């Protein structure tokens, strides 16, 4: 069995989640979140940011580490046990462009409930849900900080 490590991002802008649609040779592959393989000398966070930029054209910043998912699939010659490390990210724009070289034919930001039902893989739905909880907690903290700062200054 081959061990593989990838990293990716749950990218959110104004409450919407970035997804990619993969369509290889006219065959439906499904909606996914951006992720990819760690290159030599990269940290997991560097890989996640690079993959988001390469696959979607989105410049994002990391807010926090969400967690990891694991799954197994048949590779070319052997079984592959893949671990994906996920980061909650924020973008300052809705602009995105799918990477055609990786067979992505569409990309866009979707409401959380839409993204949940569009995502092909159960583990990505669960990680997106965890990220969205963290995102909402962060937004609530930011709102409270602004409120109290304005109220008492």
CATH number at residue 141: 3.90.79.10
What six digits make up the tokens of 144? Answer: 């409270």
Distance between CA atoms of residues 146 and 130, nearest Å: 25
What value does the mean pLDDT take over residues 59-65?
A: 97
The residues, ordered by sequence, that sit 6+ positions from 114 with a Cβ below 8 Å of its Cβ are none
Buried b vs exposed e over 114-147: b needs ≥16 C-beta within 10 Å?
A: ebbebbeeeebbebbeebbebbeeeeeeeeeeee
What confidence tens digit (pLDDT) does each residue in 118-142 have? 999 999 999 999 999 999 999 888 8
Whole domain around residue 18: which residue ranges?
A: 2-152
**Percent helix, strand, coil in the chain (nearest 5)?**
35, 45, 20
Is 121 in contact with 30 (CB distance < 8 Å)?
Answer: yes
pTM equals 0.90
Number of domains observed in the structure of the chain: 1
The two counts, helices (H) then strands (E), for the chain are 3, 7
Q: pLDDT band for 75, please (50, 70, 90 cuts).
A: confident
Is 61 in contact with 72 (CB distance < 8 Å)?
Answer: no
3-class secondary-structure state, position 51: helix
pLDDT at 25 over 80: no
């Amino acid at each position: 069995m081959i061990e593989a490590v990838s990293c990716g991002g749950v990218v959110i802008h104004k409450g919407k989640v970035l997804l990619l649609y993969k369509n290889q040779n006219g065959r439906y592959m499904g909606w996914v979140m951006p992720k990819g393989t760690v290159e030599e000398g990269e940290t997991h966070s560097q890989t996640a940011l690079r993959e988001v930029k390469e696959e979607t054209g989105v410049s994002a910043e990391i807010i926090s580490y969400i967690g990891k998912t694991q799954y197994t699939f048949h590779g070319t010659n052997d079984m592959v046990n893949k671990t994906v490390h996920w980061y909650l990210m924020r973008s300052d724009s809705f602009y995105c462009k799918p990477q055609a070289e990786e067979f992505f034919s569409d990309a866009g930001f979707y409401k959380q409930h839409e993204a949940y039902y569009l995502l092909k893989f159960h583990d990505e739905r669960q990680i997106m849900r965890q990220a969205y909880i963290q995102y909402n907690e962060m937004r609530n903290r930011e709102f409270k900080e602004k409120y109290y700062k304005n109220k008492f200054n």
